[in-house]
Structure formats: C-alpha cells, structure tokens
Amino acid sequence: MDRSEFYTFSGYMKKDDSRLTASMEDYLEMIYRLSQENGFTRASSLSQSLNVQPSSATKMVQHLAQLGYVQYRKYGFIMLDDKGAEIGAWLLKRHTILENFMRSIGVSENSLLEETEKAEHMFSPETIRCFSDLLDFLQADAAFAAYNAARAKNKKPAPQQPAEPANNRPQK
C-alpha cells in the first residue's frame, strides 16, 4: 500500500514555496477590504482589524512591500500595488464564495466566519469554482430548498458525531 503521498499539515503548507502563506493572504485580503473606502489604509487599522499587535502588522507590511504586493514607506500609507490589488480582489471573492456556500448548506453563523477564514486558504481556484457552481445549482434546486427547510426545523438533529472529543493540550 503506497502511502507516500501523505504529508503533515506543515508539510503541505511548506510544499509550494512559490505561494503566499496563509497569513500573507490574510493581510492582503484585509488591506484590500480596508482600501476599498479610500484607496489606502494604515498600519493601525490593519493591526486592529486583524487583532495583531502593531509590530506584527509593520513587519508583514514590510515583507509584502519587499515582494511587490504593496507600496509602503515608513510611517506612510499602505497602498496595494497592481499585483497586490489583483490578488486581493481574488482573495475577497474566494472568501465570499466560500462563506456563502457554507452558510447555504447550514453552517451556523457562530462558526461561519472563523471556519471560512481558516479554510479559504486550503483550496485551489478550481475547487473554489466547484463550490461556486454547486452553490448556483443548489439555489435553483427545489429539492434542496425542501431539504434545507426540513433541516432548519430539527434544530438539534441528534448528536451523531462524537461531539468534539475532549482533548487537552499543553495546558500552560
């Protein structure tokens, strides 16, 4: 049995070295959101919006600038470069598709944002396309509407999954 295509999570995440990291994507996506009003944003808004310390935002913005995604000079505005803007737009679109899809299949508003934010980084454009197409299909499918209505009724459809196994990690 050939299992050699399995990797650990970090194995996968490191594998394509020519890719933005998940965090870089988050920063770019947020810079894009925040720039929609004014065409730029600043370190403070960014750090607030992402719930990181200002120093972390500074560091990442400098990094993104170095790679040519944003224009940035110390203490100045953060402005997306062409490359950055194109990617930012795509990232936001990707987020939106996934979020809509997840909502429409019944993921509760509680977990929706967090899980979308975590999962969006994991899918290729082709897979996002699958979600998007499926969503379109479902919205036009009468049977699905019925399924959905039924599911909404049974608030708690019986705990079938092992209800979140009680882990404990280094309880520092």
Does position 74 bind DNA by CB under 7 A?
A: yes
| Segment lying near DNA (by CB under 7 A), choices 30-38, 57-65, 101-109, 123-131 | 57-65
80 three-class SS: strand
- Given 33, 40, 49, 63, the residue binding DNA (CB under 7 A): 63
The secondary structure element, H or E, covering residue 65 is helix 54-66
Do β-strands 70-72 and 78-80 pair in parallel, antiparallel, or remain unpaired? Answer: antiparallel
Does position 59 bind its own copies by CB under 8 A?
A: no
Contact call for residues 42 and 78 (beta carbons, < 8 A): yes
The residues in 88-147 that bind its own copies, with binding defined as CB under 8 A, are: 90, 102, 105-108, 111, 113-115, 117-119, 121-131, 133-134, 137, 141-144, 147
- Given 44, 66, 96, 111, the residue binding DNA (CB under 7 A): 44
- Given 13, 42, 71, 77, the residue binding its own copies (CB under 8 A): 13
Does position 24 bind DNA by CB under 7 A?
A: yes
Does position 170 bind DNA by CB under 7 A?
A: yes
Beta-carbon count within 10 A of 91 CB: 22
Q: Which residues of 57-73 are buried (b: 16+ CB within 10 A; e: fewer)?
A: bbebbeebbeeebbebe
Query: In the numeric block, which tokens belong to residue 82?
Result: 């062409």
Q: Which is closer to its own copies, CB of 76 or CB of 106?
A: 106
Query: In the numeric block, which tokens belong to residue 7?
Result: 């990797």
Q: What residues contact 7, with CB distance under 8 A and at least 6 apart? A: 15
Residue ranges binding DNA (CB under 7 A): 8-11, 21-24, 26, 42-44, 47, 51-63, 74-76, 170
